A and B are shown apart, each in its own frame.
Chain A
Amino acid sequence: MAEFLDMGGDAATVWPAYGVTIAVLTGLLVASLRTYARRRRDLERLERTGRDNR
């Protein structure tokens, strides 16, 4: 296991590379989902106030 983590001495290269990739993709996913949820809420609010005003 220790040998796996060490990556033949290249741990400082391999793990940050994989880490950055996973972090970027995860961050993008989270940001996209949150924006989508926020816009859903905003649209519903807008449509509700529109209906109430009529």
Chain B
Amino acid sequence: MPLRLHSLASPARFDRFARRILPWTWVLAALLIPCGLLWGLAFSPADYQQGDTVRVMYVHVPSAWMAMACYALVALLSASFLVWKHHLAGLAALAAAPVGACFTATALVTGSLWGLPTWGTWWVWDARLTSVLVLFFLYLGYIALAGSFDDRSRGLRAASILAVVGVVNLPVIKFSVDWWNTLHQPASVLRLDGPAIHASMLWPLAITAAGFAAFFAALLVVRIRSELLAWRIEALMRRRSAGAA
């Protein structure tokens, strides 16, 4: 695939943008995450019903939020890549997906740990955990598909189609899982949200979530630059082998 100069212009601009914001996002993340987590661990109230286990909320809920937001981002970037051929968008989606998958895995594990004292078992098929599990499979599908092609650009395009299909499917899946859950669960199930969140709990939650977002932004920039390098390497190697042949 020939190297198109105009598609390199975006990466150069991106690189300048990255160098400016990167230090700030790292600083933000390094400040917000420990602050939020410490606040949640030490300075927020325990719950009337759930006791100190409610503190898992401060890692579980931001992880779940990031998992979902990241997938929306991957889908948006993939659509932009497919429709407007914006190559950087495609690479950005490829860079973001594993981060989203990690947040999903974290949400699943912390949700499971939170559920153990609440429900007495390691895993419960409640609507939210099940939806997050399906989201995890959507991430895995995207990552696996993108990586299964010898030609990275074809893999990226195939995975982008899958991301768009997946994001359309996601509300339907959520709807189905909710439906399925109300059919099979008794009406009174303790929600993993914890109690109605009041200010003393809202602050550490918001701070941690903001910290996760900053961390995600910083990490994404690093990973996008990494993908740009991989793309240049592949293009170089292909030109070399074509030249040698």
| Direct A/B contact, Cβ within 8 angstroms | yes
Interface residues of A, Cβ cutoff 8 Å to B:
4, 7-10, 13-14, 16-18, 20-21, 24-25, 28-29, 32-33, 35-36, 39-40, 42-43, 46-47, 50
B35 CB to nearest A CB, Å: 14
**Distance, CA A17 to CA B60, complexed state (A):** 8
B59 to A21, Cβ gap below 8 A? Answer: yes
Please, how many angstroms separate the alpha-carbon atoms of A13 and B42 in the complex? 15
Q: Which of B52, B113, B223 contacts A32 (CB 8 A)?
A: B223
Taking Cβ atoms with an 8 Å cutoff, the residues of B that contact A are 37, 41-42, 46, 51-53, 55-56, 59-60, 63, 98-99, 102, 105-106, 109-110, 113-114, 116-117, 215, 219, 222-223, 225-226, 229-230, 232-233, 236-237, 240
CB distance from A27 to the nearest CB of B (A): 8
Determine if B236 and A14 form an interchain contact, defined as CB atoms under 8 angstroms apart: no
Residues of A within 8 Å of B105, CB to CB, are 24
| Given the contacts A14-B53, A40-B229, A8 and B46 also touching, CB distance less than 8 Å | yes
Q: Which residues of A contact B53 (CB under 8 A)?
A: 10, 13-14
Q: Considering the chains assembled together, what is the distance between the CA atoms of A14 and B52 in angstroms?
A: 8
Q: Is the CB of B59 within 8 A of A47?
A: no
B61: shortest Cβ distance to chain A, in Å? 11
Chain B contacts for A14, CB-based, 8 A:
41, 52-53, 55-56
In the complex the two chains form, is A35's CB within 8 Å of B226's CB?
yes
Which listed residue (B59, B98, B229) contacts A17, Cβ 8 A? B59
Summarize A's interface: helix, strand, loop or mixed: helix
**Minimum CB–CB distance for A4 against chain B, Å:** 6
Consensus secondary structure, chain B interface:
helix
Give the Cβ gap from A7 to chain B, nearest Cβ, in Å: 4
Q: How far is the CA of A9 from the CA of B230 in the complex (A)?
A: 49
User: Which of B37, B52, B99, B230 sits near A28, CB closer than 8 Å?
Assistant: B99
Complex Cα–Cα for A17 and B106 (A): 8
Q: Which residue of B lies closest to A46 (CB)?
A: B236
Most chain A CB neighbours (cut-off 10 Å) among B53, B98, B219, B222: B53
The answer to whether A16 touches B113, judged by C-beta atoms less than 8 angstroms apart, is yes
Contacting residue for B226 out of A8, A13, A28, A39, CB 8 A: A39
Which residues of chain B are near A39, meaning CB under 8 Å?
226, 229-230, 233
Complex Cα gap A28–B220 (Å):
11
Smallest CB-CB separation from A27: which chain B residue? B102
Contact among B117, B222, B236 with A13 in the assembled complex (CB-CB below 8 Å):
B117
A17 to B215, CA, bound (A): 19
Chain B nearest CB, measured from A25 CB (Å)? 7
Give the distance in Å from the alpha carbon of A36 to the alpha carbon of B215 in the complex.
17
CB within 8 Å for A43 and B117 given contacts A18-B59, A36-B222: no
A29 to B15, CA, bound (A): 19
